[in-house]
Structure 1
Amino acid sequence: MSRSKIILSGSMLIMLLLSLFIIRIPTIQVDYSDSRFYLKDDRFDLGWIHSVEKEPWFESYERNEDALLLTSTKFKTFGAGVPSSAQVTKSDDGFVHMIVNEPIDELLLAVSRNVQTTMYTENNQIALYELVDDYDTVFIHVERVSLWNLLRGEKID
């Protein structure tokens, strides 16, 4: 191999390695305690048992550029926390469905075994209440993460 081909190959390798640190991808990041994981999906649902009504409640989120978008919510009974300006849609599953489409910079969730806060992705169910002590906070937000961190970090399907 000629010297110029070796230099070219080495330069390309250096550029490839540098791109692992320079290129940043918007990714849904979940921070808790001293840990974190990244979602492979650009959308997820949160579910929990409402503390007063004792009925299930679900919210659907998706990544919208560098923020989260609360797209919809569904619940069994009206009570504390019900959106006042969202559009109600018809359903036959026993839930009240509402279209919300509200941008959210960051979710701060107080998680407990009592309400069983759970994250649902396309391929996984993540019991957030099992990751932290009762009433600890879980932060969910969009972060621009380097390819290197995505490759070495924990990802959830």
Structure 2
Amino acid sequence: MIAALVGVMLWQLLVRQPVIEVRVAGADGTSDQVCYFSQPNFQLRWMHSVEKQWWEEQYQRQRDGLLLTTTYFEAFGAGTPSTETLAPIQKPGYLGYQINEKLPSLNWVVSRLTKGEIDYDNYRILIHRWVPDYSEVTIIPKAYGFIDRFQKDLCHELPSDGSR
């Protein structure tokens, strides 16, 4: 019985779970704010600063990075991709393009004006309320061990206003 218990404990310590880590560099040398989620698919959503229309990017976690699969937007303007293939699934009120671009990680600057959010598995994280304006958010696929998961918070368990 003890050997089985030790075996289970060792297995838990050695098994690594693939996650998406969301990290915000601490201002003025303070420690970083970090959370994670284990779902492989997520969406970034924000209000375009010029067009004042919603933009959405859909991503998938992969072994060696992230895959930007599709982009959706409500208005067509400067900087809008126009040479890509239309997304196979179109959303009402949006124009969507299939992108399929691999990225090792994402660096995303958010502010209250652009109302940035991270959506995954029926959770909507209002990242623009969680971090100070113009914070750089790094989103990167990682693998967490059992202990790592206890030392970090699930993103949807953090308060939206950034308080702890």
TM-score, normalised to structure 2, is 0.80
- Once the two structures are TM-superposed, the CA of residue 22 in structure 1 deviates from its matched residue by 1.9
**Residue 55 of structure 1 pairs with residue 53 of structure 2:** yes
Aligned equivalent of 1:136: 135
8 Å CA contact 2:20–2:36 kept in 1: the answer is: yes
- Once the two structures are TM-superposed, the CA of residue 38 in structure 1 deviates from its matched residue by 1.4
8 Å CA contact 2:48–2:54 kept in 1: the answer is: yes
**Residue 73 of structure 1 pairs with residue 90 of structure 2:** no
- Once the two structures are TM-superposed, the CA of residue 60 in structure 1 deviates from its matched residue by 0.5
CA distance in 1, matches of 2:54, 2:43: 13
8 Å CA contact 1:40–1:156 kept in 2: the answer is: no
- Structure 2, unmatched stretches of 5+, are 27-31, 157-164
8 Å CA contact 1:27–1:142 kept in 2: the answer is: yes
Identity of aligned residues (%): 32
Q: Compared with structure 1, are the counterparts of its residues 156 and 40 closer, same or farther at alpha carbon in structure 2 (3 Å cutoff)? A: farther
- Once the two structures are TM-superposed, the CA of residue 84 in structure 1 deviates from its matched residue by 4.9
- Structure 1, unmatched stretches of 5+, are 1-8
Deviations 1:96-130 (A, max 9, x none): 11011111111101010010001111221100011
Aligned equivalent of 1:4: none
Paired residues in the alignment total 149
**Residue 12 of structure 1 pairs with residue 10 of structure 2:** no
Structure 1 residue ranges, 4+ long, deviating more than 6 angstroms after superposition: none
Which structure has the larger Rg over C-alpha atoms? 1
Aligned equivalent of 2:95: 96
Deviations 1:66-97 (A, max 9, x none): 31111100112223442354212474722111
Partner-residue secondary structure (3-state), 2:149? helix
- Once the two structures are TM-superposed, the CA of residue 131 in structure 1 deviates from its matched residue by 1.3
CA distance in 2, matches of 1:151, 1:24: 13
Match of 1:31 among 23, 36, 49: 23
- Once the two structures are TM-superposed, the CA of residue 152 in structure 1 deviates from its matched residue by 5.1
